[in-house]
């Protein structure tokens, strides 16, 4: 039997055009959200600049993120660590006044996470710091960022490539990270 699909297409054409435009719209919308409205550099409660601290003043990463070498989480510095310097340093700046206000009211600062891994990934800072991996490998050149943004994709490929390049023992085993 020989059936032509041309008549069917003729009927469908207006509908197909609408569907096509809709599809393009979806892709455009998705792309716009993923690029223009990205969450890679969210606005923080205090406009803290890593450029001033880690860049200009050369404060080592581990001075503030002191847990990174011995815990799974790097840890954000406690408010009293910030105040250790800022009782004296730059006390007149508006952002430091904001900090001092958190300190006076003993409120924690609700920082927003920039680098976050899903819960099914077991990542430990301790191992990586102790193996001598530079913080910048995953976090990008934070010392140049006035506002921290996520530069590395933090996807599985990044982990696996690095594990392969460095010939990490069991580095490509599923259970190394997913446990």
Partner 1 sequence: MANVDRREFLKLVGAGSVGVGAGYLLAESIKHPVEHLIPYSVPPEEFSPGIATWYNSVCGMCPAGCGISVRTREGRAKKIEGNPAHPVNQGRLCALGQAGLQTLYNPDRITAPMLLQGKRGNDAFVETTWKEGLANVSGRLGVPGVATVVLSQGVRGQLANLLELFTAELGSAELLHYDFAHPHTLYAANERLFGQQQLPYYDIANTRYLMSFGADFLNNWLSPVHHSLGFGHSRQGGDAQRLRFVQIEPKMSISGAAADEWVAARPGSEGVLALGIAHQILAGGRYSGSDADDWTAALADYSPELVAEQSGVAAATIVRLADEFAQAKPALAIGGGSAANNSNGTDTLVAVTALNYLVGNIGQAGGLIFNPDPVTGPSASSRRANYEVMRDLAEAAQQGVVDVLIVNNTNPLFTLPTAAGFKEALASIPLIVSLSSFMDETTAMADVILPSHTYLESWGDDVPQPGVGFSVAAVSQPVVAPLYNTRSTGDILLGLASNLGFRDAIPWTTMEECIKDGWREIHARGEPGSGDFDSFWHDVLQSGVWGEDVRQQQDATVSKEVIDNIGVAAPEFAGDVGDYPFVLHPFMSTSMYDGRGANLPWMQELPDPITSVVYGSWLEMNPATADKMGLQDGDLVQVASMQGSVEVPVVIFPAIMPDVVAMPIGQGHESLGRYARNRGANPIQILAPVTDPVSGALATGATRVSVVATGRRAPAVKTGGESRQLGRDIVRFTSTTSDATEHSAKLNSIPISVEPA
Interface with partner 1 by CB under 8 A: which residues? Answer: 14, 17-19, 21-34, 37, 39, 42, 67, 70-73, 75-80, 102-103, 106-113, 116, 118, 125
Check if the beta carbon of residue 96 is closer than 8 Å to that of residue 83: no
Compute the least distance from the CB of residue 84 to partner 1, in Å: 11
Cβ distance to partner 1 smaller for residue 31 or 56: 31
Compute the least distance from the CB of residue 126 to partner 1, in Å: 8
Cβ distance to partner 1 smaller for residue 3 or 78: 78
DSSP states along 11-79: HHHHHHHHHHHHHHHHHHHHHHHHHHT-SSSPPPSS---HIIIIIIS---HHHHSGGGGTSSS--PPPH
Cβ distance to partner 1 smaller for residue 86 or 125: 125
| Nearest partner of 111 among 120, 100, 102, 121, judged by Cα | 102
Compute the least distance from the CB of residue 57 to partner 1, in Å: 20
Reported as type and span, the H/E element at residue 164 is: helix 156-165
Cβ distance to partner 1 smaller for residue 51 or 126: 126
Cβ distance to partner 1 smaller for residue 3 or 15: 15
φ, ψ dihedrals at 58, nearest 5°: 55, 40
Q: What is the C-alpha to C-alpha distance for residues 156 and 148, in angstroms, rounded to an integer?
A: 22
| All residues at 6 or more sequence positions from 59 whose CB lies less than 8 Å from its CB, including other chains | 53
Q: What is the C-alpha to C-alpha distance for residues 60 and 158, in angstroms, rounded to an integer?
A: 25
Compute the least distance from the CB of residue 164 to partner 1, in Å: 26
Compute the least distance from the CB of residue 166 to partner 1, in Å: 23
């Amino acid at each position: 039997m020989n059936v032509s699909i041309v008549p069917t297409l003729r009927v469908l054409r207006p509908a197909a055009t609408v569907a096509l435009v809709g599809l393009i719209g979806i892709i455009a919308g998705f792309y716009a959200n993923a690029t223009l409205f990205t969450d890679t550099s969210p606005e923080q409660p205090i406009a803290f600049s890593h450029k001033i601290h880690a860049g200009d003043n050369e404060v080592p990463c581990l001075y503030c993120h002191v847990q990174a070498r011995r815990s799974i989480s790097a840890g954000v510095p406690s408010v009293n660590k910030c105040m250790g310097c800022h009782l004296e340093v730059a006390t007149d700046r508006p952002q430091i006044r904001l900090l001092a206000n958190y300190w006076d009211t003993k409120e924690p600062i609700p920082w927003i996470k920039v680098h976050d891994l899903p819960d099914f990934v077991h990542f430990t800072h301790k191992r990586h710091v102790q193996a001598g991996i530079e913080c910048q490998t995953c976090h990008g050149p934070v010392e140049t960022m006035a506002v921290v943004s996520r530069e590395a994709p933090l996807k599985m490929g990044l982990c696996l490539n690095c594990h392969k390049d460095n010939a990490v023992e069991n580095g490509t085993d599923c259970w190394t990270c997913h446990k």
